[in-house]
Structure 1
Amino acid sequence: MAGKTTAVPTSVSGLQHDTRCLLWWALASRLLLLTLIILWRSLLSSYDTSSALNPPCLSTISAGSSNPCPNPPSVLLPRVGSAIENSIVWDSVHFLRIAECGYEYEHSYAFLPLLPICIRLFSNAVFAPLVPLIGYRAVLGLSGYLISNTAFIFAALYMHRLSIIVLKDPEVALRASILFSLNPASIFYSSIYSESLYALLSFGGLYHFLNGAGYNATFWLALSGFARSNGVLNAGYFCLNAMQRAYKAFSWDKNAFLALKILVSGALSCLCILAPFICFQVYGYFNICAGRSVDEMRPWCKARLPLLYNYIQSHYWGVGFLRYFQVKQFPNFLLASPILSLALQAIIYYMKLWPNVFITLGIQAPLSRKELAGTALALGSKDIPRKSCFSESSSSTLQDDDALRLRRKAIKGETLVMKPLESEALFNLPSIPVVIVPFVVHLSFMVATAFFVMHVQVATRFLSSSPVLYWFASHIMGSPGVGKKWGYFIWSYCVAYILLGSLLFSNFYPFT
């Protein structure tokens, strides 16, 4: 018709608006954290000032030569350089030491190399002209801050994209992503820690995975295992997906060869994700154990399966099953109780909503009429989801007569046994139960590890990379009746931990 303009699709314009909104929140939250770090450092004295000490690298001492990247005798802006150096506390000291000197000590191998490598590259290339102004160590710190905060912003954007794919609800997805931008462990995402890099690689890898880009997903998730040790758990997504697809190929398509091919492909993808972490353990073994006599070897070198990372965690930090269950650690359990409670509530909620799906891990998920109705009511989705790796269709898609027969069974209250990995859910219901299974299983394993094995106060930042927490929190905040009350509680919790964390952490006081 003449004079009629074509409107931009609401979904496209809405996505652009939500992306701009989230970008504002992510930037504002990082500026807030950096401002708080500067403020608390200016107002209060540090509990421990040893982080400012920076002895020469062992390699230069043994070689009798000067540091290849020394601080100039007199930098032009010494106060700026000193302020940056003094802000480097806790594990940030180790990351920067590795970036400058490499892995000098056995306990240094607890910190995986991706972040130090990135810091060294930025310092020696992009920020090299700043060395005469503020000194080399300050440049290392500046590079670390830039990498962590930039990675966080992109992680928030990928969190949003991932949430849209899984939840099929733009409003809930945006709210969940904003919650991530203000998560209670925010101080670690703005400091020189590997949390931001890991979140970016993990969210990005899962986004590509659910979009069917298997090779990209494998690469991203493999790098996540090069940033943090728990990145190896991301191999579970490929493992479960391979099991689901192989079951479908064997049971429904009657194709044993295809099922075997799927399992082999899934195993290779898992091996690729595990490879960086394994290679790093091998690197540590050759550096510490190789070429030494039996008497000179460290105890872990003599083990049948010499795992350096496990030994370091146990020997230097006392990490082990139930080893943290002591009366004196009760305050730390209280500090971690909010995040653990939220995680348990999320796990219980999704498992109760779709019990049969979780019992079978989505491989063969029988849904009763009650569960089907509960899915529609809980999610409120009107659209059929698009294809994803966890709901991949094939030639065995239900025909009209099969769908009609199953509808009649549902009306009679009989149990429906849905074909696994079906892309078009019956009655226009979303395929979120199967999609969300690996996320909830992943979170369950992390909760158990944080509570029974690790130092429990670390749970706040350890669990902060799980998108399930933010999806659940966003869902209950949008629920009628209880949403407003829970919203106040969740936002208060996030703000309180941001203020408390930035105050304690930046001044070298213990915090998660």
Structure 2
Amino acid sequence: MYGPREKVFWFAVTSRLVVISLQFIFNRILPDHDAHIFNSPLDPEMKTSIYDSTVEYLFGGFLRWDAQYFIHIAKYGYTYEKTLAFYPLYPMSIRCLSVVLRVVFFSLNDHSIAILAALLINFICFVKSATVFYDLSKIVLKDTALAYKAAILYCINPASIFFSAFYSEAMFAWLSFNIMLAYVNNNPYIYLPIGLSILVRSNGLINLGYPVYSFVRCLIRTVLPKVSRNYQNSQAEPIFPFGCHTMLGSFLWLLNVVFLSIVPYILHQLYNYSLYCTYHEVTIPDYVLNYSDEDVLLIPGTVIPPWCKNSIPVAYSYIQAKYWNVGFMRYWMFQHLPNILLGFPSLYLILCQSFKYLSEHRIQLYTLGSFSTDVRNCKKSKNKKLSPDIFVFVVHGICLVLICLGFVHLEVSTRLLCSASPLLYWCCASKLSYKSERRNENAMNAMDFEYPENLNSKWRVFFLSQTTHSKNDIIILSYYLAYTGIGCGMFSNNLPWT
């Protein structure tokens, strides 16, 4: 018999095996679309054995779109200017693990080793992120059954293909949920996952909002102790965060966290500057140096690019604008309407539920969520299942949505939100009709989160056993499962997907 955390673990494993199987099937039965995108050059002298062909045959569907960039960086480094749009922790992890796997799989070439390393990293990161997300949800929502449902939905999230393909989503989600868990647990080492998340994706910088919010909440609690009628309910909570005993200590702690969090980011930018903003000789294989692409590929140490002359020489926004036309409101054009509609559901769900939460929990809004609210006093809330104490996660989700609406290609918003915000899963889980059965009249049994017949199965979960589904169930599960299935087919054949 499995407990809720064990069920989440095994369902996460099962979901990854299903996604791997789906990409294999679709990659075999559908023809690849010629999308005219970047393909990392291969060594023409590289030997290809039957084992290498097998690796490509089984997992080649994951090596599409931006996955080509990550594998290229893992193998060769930042050999072209446009590769600077991809942050280093994930590809460097692939490179490091490849060194270990090369000892075990000595019959494989470097390309196949990199594929296996990327697959293994994403598999582990996803399973770890699912269990960490369950731990986070259980603490924040204060409801084991709801936390379990949310974690199960995460395992079949609409961007599932990107959590197994050679993208950084799985690693970023694992780090993001660890940051949130460190925040709710007052962990003073929160700067570790924040600093690492910034090295995985650019939106990792937003995670600095958690320690900043902790200090702001501390300030409000200290200066305005009677601002909320429910203040007495939060007296048991520490006023000062992360073991601090004074306001000055909290401020110094915040400065320390921010500094330690951004040091890796600064070092990465210094590396980019030294690589592309100075003239020097670089050792690059000829087949990489002579690779032709639809874009003019700038090699480091040859020409000084314009971003080097900026007062703050950061390449990211310049490269996004130059190679992918990313900029404020640039994507809002009629010809992009299909892609906009593709990313619309996740944006709508988070934005709609966030504003509904803020309208129903005015005290949390007026006090910036600084005081815990007794759930018993929230009788007017239409969504009683969600804890009122999710204010910071709501603000975080709104910030991500606004960034998506203003600056990114909107089809990307689904995977960006699925890997960075828990709101999509919490809100959807709260609307599912499945309710755990109370089999003990006096207390909630530890196993009441799931149907009894599913407790001994590693893969069967509540929505697979329900005989009747509500309208909300059909809409939510259709969205999650359809995007998972269609995404596997589209992505694995180089067709445009979210």
Q: TM-score range by the shorter chain?
A: 0.7 to 0.9
Between the aligned partners of 2:36 and 2:216, the Cα distance in structure 1 is 51
Query: If the length of structure 2 is used for normalisation, what is the TM-score?
Result: 0.79
User: How far is the alpha carbon of 1:188 from its aligned partner?
Assistant: 0.2
Distance of aligned partners of 1:81 and 1:17 in 2 relative to their CA distance in 1, 3 Å threshold? closer
User: How far is the alpha carbon of 1:277 from its aligned partner?
Assistant: 2.3
Q: How does 1:352-431 map to 2 (within 5 A)?
A: 352-363=359-370, 372-374=378-380, 378-379=383-384
User: How far is the alpha carbon of 1:23 from its aligned partner?
Assistant: 1.7
User: How far is the alpha carbon of 1:347 from its aligned partner?
Assistant: 0.7
- Picking from 381, 399, 403, the partner of 1:449 is 403
Between the aligned partners of 2:376 and 2:124, the Cα distance in structure 1 is 45
1:180 corresponds in structure 2 to 154
Does the alignment pair 1:287 with 2:275?
yes
Say whether the 8 Å CA contact 1:234–1:273 is kept in structure 2. no
- Picking from 309, 330, 339, the partner of 1:323 is 330
1:468 corresponds in structure 2 to 423
Residue identity in the other structure for 2:122: S
Distance of aligned partners of 1:82 and 1:475 in 2 relative to their CA distance in 1, 3 Å threshold? closer
Say whether the 8 Å CA contact 2:20–2:164 is kept in structure 1. yes
1:100 corresponds in structure 2 to 75
**Superposed CA offset, 1:396-421 (max 9, x none):** xxxxxxxxxxxxxxxxxxxxxxxxxx
Distance of aligned partners of 1:484 and 1:300 in 2 relative to their CA distance in 1, 3 Å threshold? same
- Picking from 98, 106, 109, the partner of 1:123 is 98
**Superposed CA offset, 1:375-399 (max 9, x none):** 6x84469xxxxxxxxxxxxxxxxxx
Say whether the 8 Å CA contact 2:13–2:127 is kept in structure 1. yes
2:109 corresponds in structure 1 to 135
Residue identity in the other structure for 2:380: G
SS of match in other structure, 1:374: coil
**Superposed CA offset, 1:70-120 (max 9, x none):** 74x352424214425743111111111111111111111111111111111
Q: How does 1:297-316 map to 2 (within 5 A)?
A: 297-316=304-323
Say whether the 8 Å CA contact 1:239–1:267 is kept in structure 2. no
2:210 corresponds in structure 1 to 237
Q: How does 1:127-276 map to 2 (within 5 A)?
A: 127-132=102-107, 134-215=108-189, 217-252=190-225, 258-276=246-264
Q: Kindly tell me the number of residue pairs found equivalent between the two proteins.
A: 429
Residue identity in the other structure for 1:503: G
Q: Looking at secondary structure, tell me which structure has more helix per residue.
A: 1
Question: Which stretches in structure 2 are left out of the alignment for 5+ residues?
Answer: 227-238, 281-301, 436-467
Say whether the 8 Å CA contact 2:331–2:410 is kept in structure 1. yes
User: Which structure's CA Rg is the greater one?
Assistant: 1
User: How far is the alpha carbon of 1:36 from its aligned partner?
Assistant: 0.5
Between the aligned partners of 2:24 and 2:325, the Cα distance in structure 1 is 33
Residue identity in the other structure for 2:479: Y
Say whether the 8 Å CA contact 1:246–1:258 is kept in structure 2. no
**Superposed CA offset, 1:151-172 (max 9, x none):** 1011000000000000000111
Distance of aligned partners of 1:369 and 1:281 in 2 relative to their CA distance in 1, 3 Å threshold? closer
Does the alignment pair 1:278 with 2:284?
no
SS of match in other structure, 2:332: coil
Between the aligned partners of 1:109 and 1:251, the Cα distance in structure 2 is 46
Between the aligned partners of 2:223 and 2:180, the Cα distance in structure 1 is 26
Say whether the 8 Å CA contact 2:279–2:303 is kept in structure 1. no
- Picking from 432, 439, 448, the partner of 2:393 is 439
Does the alignment pair 1:497 with 2:483?
yes
Distance of aligned partners of 1:297 and 1:77 in 2 relative to their CA distance in 1, 3 Å threshold? closer
Residue identity in the other structure for 2:392: P
User: How far is the alpha carbon of 1:494 from its aligned partner?
Assistant: 0.8
1:29 corresponds in structure 2 to 15
Between the aligned partners of 1:327 and 1:258, the Cα distance in structure 2 is 55
Between the aligned partners of 2:415 and 2:59, the Cα distance in structure 1 is 23
Say whether the 8 Å CA contact 2:432–2:472 is kept in structure 1. yes
Between the aligned partners of 2:338 and 2:66, the Cα distance in structure 1 is 22
Question: Which stretches in structure 1 are left out of the alignment for 5+ residues?
Answer: 1-12, 58-66, 382-431
Say whether the 8 Å CA contact 2:191–2:260 is kept in structure 1. yes
Does the alignment pair 1:351 with 2:358?
yes
SS of match in other structure, 1:48: coil
Say whether the 8 Å CA contact 1:85–1:137 is kept in structure 2. no
Q: How does 1:500-511 map to 2 (within 5 A)?
A: 500-511=486-497
Say whether the 8 Å CA contact 1:198–1:227 is kept in structure 2. yes
**Residue range with higher mean Cα deviation, 221-230 or 439-448:** 221-230
**Residue range with higher mean Cα deviation, 93-102 or 270-279:** 270-279
Say whether the 8 Å CA contact 1:281–1:309 is kept in structure 2. no
**Residue range with higher mean Cα deviation, 20-29 or 265-274:** 265-274
